[in-house]
Amino acid sequence: MQRSNDANMPEPLSREQRWEIVQTLLQRGNLRNEAKQALRQAYLNAPEEMLETAVFHLYVDGIGAAIDWLVDLELFLCEPDRKLDLSVTYHLLYHLYNWYQFSELLADGKIGVLERLKKIKELVADGEVEAILATVEELEAMFGGIRNYPNFQ
């Protein structure tokens, strides 16, 4: 990737460069394993189950959902009387949202979980039942994948 004058800001890729990268991605022979290796390298402390989930949402079913969405957009341009298929959009959003949750959980990581457990122990000593329950619910939300949708504003 080329760099602009500001060393921190990469120059945007051209349409041709982006298409070439997408073609390279789609032509990979062992995408699942390559994706898992890359994620394992990037997220050293992630449990195996989380890596498998991320691989699925990003590379196994996620890529197909993204392609289906792009195809739906093109078909609509060719035939405007045909409505855009919201189920195709929802399918893509499902995978993107699951990736978002995964990345958010990784941000908390093992240290974040240990901090919450320490907090629970302290709250037990203080008899703070409501605060204990709130912290436990926070942990459940983290591991259950039920955090709030991101705010893009």
What's the rounded mean pLDDT across residues 104-128?
Answer: 78
Question: Which of 142, 151, 75 is CA-nearest to residue 106?
Answer: 142
Residues 6+ apart with CB under 8 A from 139: 113, 116
Residues facing 3 on adjacent strands: 10
Q: What is the model's pTM?
A: 0.68
Using the CB atoms, write b or e for 107-140: b if 16+ within 10 Å. Answer: eeeeeeeeeeeeebeebeeeeeeeebeebeeeee
Q: Could you give the percent of the chain with pLDDT greater than 90?
A: 47
Rounded to an integer, the average pLDDT of 11-28 is: 95
